[in-house]
Amino acid sequence: MRTPVRFPARTSLEQILDTLEHDPAFAELVTHWERLPAKPARFAPFPEWLDGRVAHALRRRGIEQLYTHQAAALERTRAGKNVVVVTPTASGKTLCYDLPVLDAIAKDGSARALYLFPTKALAQDQLAELQRLSADIDIELKTFTYDGDTPPAARAAIRSAGHVVITNPDMLHTGILPHHTKWVKLFENLRFVVLDELHTYRGVFGSNVANVLRRLRRICRFYGSDPIFICTSATIANPEELARRHVEADVVLVDESGAPRGEKVLAFIQPPVVNLQLGIRKSALLVGRDIAAMLLASGVQTIAFTKSRVQTELLLTYLRARFPSPQWPPDLVRGYRSGYLPSERRAIERGLRDGTVRGVVSTNALELGIDLGALQAAVLVGYPGSVASTWQQMGRSGRREELSAAFLVATSSPTDQYVIQHPEFVLGRAPESGLVNPDNLHILVGHLKCGAFELPFETASGKAERFGTEDTAGVLAYLAEQGILHEAEGRYHWSDRAFPAQGMSLRTASNDNVVIIDTSGRDAPNPHKGNDARERVIGEVDRFAAPVLVHEQAIYLHESRQYQVERLDWENAKAYVTEVKVDYYTDADLAVRIRVLDEFSRSAVGRFDRAHGEVLVSALPTIFKKLTMFTHENVGWGRIHLPEQELQTTSFWLALPEATVRGWPKERVEIALAGLGNLLHGLAPLFLMCDPHDLGLAVEARSPHTERPSVFLFDMTPGGVGFSERLFRSLDPLLQRAREHLRSCPCGDGCPACVGPAYALGRDVRSAVAGLLG
The correct pick among 240, 255, 471, 552 for binding other proteins (CB under 8 A) is 471
For residues 752 and 674, the answer to whether their CB atoms sit within 8 Å is: no
Residue 426 φ then ψ, to 5°: -85, -40
Is 81 near other proteins (CB under 8 A)? no
CB of residue 66 vs other proteins: minimum separation in angstroms?
40
Q: Name the segment binding other proteins (CB under 8 A); options: 83-91, 143-151, 488-496, 557-565.
A: 488-496
| Footprint of other proteins on 619-648 (CB under 8 A) | 648
The correct pick among 42, 78, 244, 491 for binding other proteins (CB under 8 A) is 491
CB of residue 193 vs other proteins: minimum separation in angstroms?
20
Q: What's the rounded Cα separation, in Å, for the pair 117 and 194?
A: 8
Q: What is the DSSP letter of 569?
A: E
Continuous segment of H or E residues that includes residue 244: helix 239-247
Q: Name the segment binding other proteins (CB under 8 A); options: 30-38, 113-121, 414-422, 439-447.
A: 439-447
How many residues in the shown chain lie near other proteins by CB under 8 A?
A: 43
Q: Please, which residues have CB within 8 angstroms of residue 631's CB and are 6 or more apart in sequence? A: none
Q: What's the rounded Cα separation, in Å, for the pair 196 and 422?
A: 31
The one-letter code for the residue type at 321 is A
Is 457 near other proteins (CB under 8 A)? no
User: What does the DSSP assignment read for 590-659?
Assistant: EEEEEEEEEEEEEEEETTEEEEEEEEEEEEEEEEEEEEETTT--EEEEEE-----EEEEEEEEEEE--GG
| Footprint of other proteins on 533-552 (CB under 8 A) | none
CB of residue 311 vs other proteins: minimum separation in angstroms?
33
Is 155 near other proteins (CB under 8 A)? no
Q: Name the segment binding other proteins (CB under 8 A); options: 174-182, 278-286, 422-430, 701-709.
A: 174-182
Residue number, 478 or 570, with CB nearest to other proteins? 478
Residue number, 49 or 499, with CB nearest to other proteins? 499
Residue number, 81 or 491, with CB nearest to other proteins? 491
| Footprint of other proteins on 113-142 (CB under 8 A) | none
CB of residue 498 vs other proteins: minimum separation in angstroms?
6
Is 150 near other proteins (CB under 8 A)? no
CB atoms under 10 Å from CB of 502, counted, come to: 9
Residue number, 282 or 491, with CB nearest to other proteins? 491
Q: Name the segment binding other proteins (CB under 8 A); options: 175-183, 308-316, 383-391, 392-400.
A: 175-183
Residue 646 φ then ψ, to 5°: -110, 145
Q: Name the segment binding other proteins (CB under 8 A); options: 287-295, 315-323, 451-459, 684-692.
A: 451-459
Is 572 near other proteins (CB under 8 A)? no
CA distances, 38 to each of 43, 85, 396, 471 (Å):
16, 22, 16, 53
CB of residue 484 vs other proteins: minimum separation in angstroms?
8
Is 470 near other proteins (CB under 8 A)? yes
* Helix-, strand-, coil-residue percentages of the chain, each rounded to 5: 35, 25, 40
- Scanning 44-151, the segments in alpha helix (DSSP H) are 52-60, 68-78, 93-107, 120-135
The correct pick among 182, 400, 529, 702 for binding other proteins (CB under 8 A) is 182
CA distances, 507 to each of 124, 346, 443, 542, 720 (Å):
20, 21, 11, 10, 14
| Footprint of other proteins on 584-613 (CB under 8 A) | 598, 600
The correct pick among 178, 369, 382, 539 for binding other proteins (CB under 8 A) is 178
| Footprint of other proteins on 493-522 (CB under 8 A) | 493-500, 502
Verify cis geometry, omega within 30 degrees of 0, for the bond prior to 326: yes
Q: What's the rounded Cα separation, in Å, for the pair 663 and 298?
A: 62
Closest-CA residue to 614 (of 728, 700, 702, 512): 728
CB of residue 120 vs other proteins: minimum separation in angstroms?
23
Is 181 near other proteins (CB under 8 A)? yes
Residue number, 159 or 558, with CB nearest to other proteins? 159
CB of residue 668 vs other proteins: minimum separation in angstroms?
39
Q: What is the DSSP letter of 174?
A: I
Residue number, 24 or 527, with CB nearest to other proteins? 527
Q: Identify the sign of the CA torsion 607, 613, 614, 619.
A: positive
Residue number, 249 or 498, with CB nearest to other proteins? 498
The correct pick among 104, 164, 236, 480 for binding other proteins (CB under 8 A) is 480
Q: Please, which residues have CB within 8 angstroms of residue 743's CB and are 6 or more apart in sequence? A: none
Q: What's the rounded Cα separation, in Å, for the pair 536 and 12?
A: 44
Q: Please, which residues have CB within 8 angstroms of residue 89's CB and are 6 or more apart in sequence? A: 234, 369, 391, 392, 395, 396, 399
Q: Name the segment binding other proteins (CB under 8 A); options: 146-154, 164-172, 324-332, 445-453.
A: 445-453
Is 24 near other proteins (CB under 8 A)? no
Exposed, middle or buried by CB within 10 Å (0-12, 13-18, 19+), for 587? middle
CB of residue 490 vs other proteins: minimum separation in angstroms?
7
Continuous segment of H or E residues that includes residue 481: helix 472-481
Is 157 near other proteins (CB under 8 A)? no
- Scanning 376-421, the segments in alpha helix (DSSP H) are 387-394, 414-421
For residues 437 and 415, the answer to whether their CB atoms sit within 8 Å is: no
Is 668 near other proteins (CB under 8 A)? no
Residue number, 327 or 572, with CB nearest to other proteins? 572
CB of residue 384 vs other proteins: minimum separation in angstroms?
32
The correct pick among 324, 483, 643, 665 for binding other proteins (CB under 8 A) is 483
Is 453 near other proteins (CB under 8 A)? yes
The correct pick among 149, 481, 583, 667 for binding other proteins (CB under 8 A) is 481
CB of residue 453 vs other proteins: minimum separation in angstroms?
3
Is 474 near other proteins (CB under 8 A)? yes
Is 305 near other proteins (CB under 8 A)? no
Exposed, middle or buried by CB within 10 Å (0-12, 13-18, 19+), for 676? buried
Is 462 near other proteins (CB under 8 A)? no
Residue number, 103 or 454, with CB nearest to other proteins? 454
- Catalog residues that contact other proteins under the rule CB under 8 A: 178-182, 184, 439, 441-442, 445, 452-456, 470-471, 474-475, 478-484, 486, 488-491, 493-500, 502, 598, 600, 648
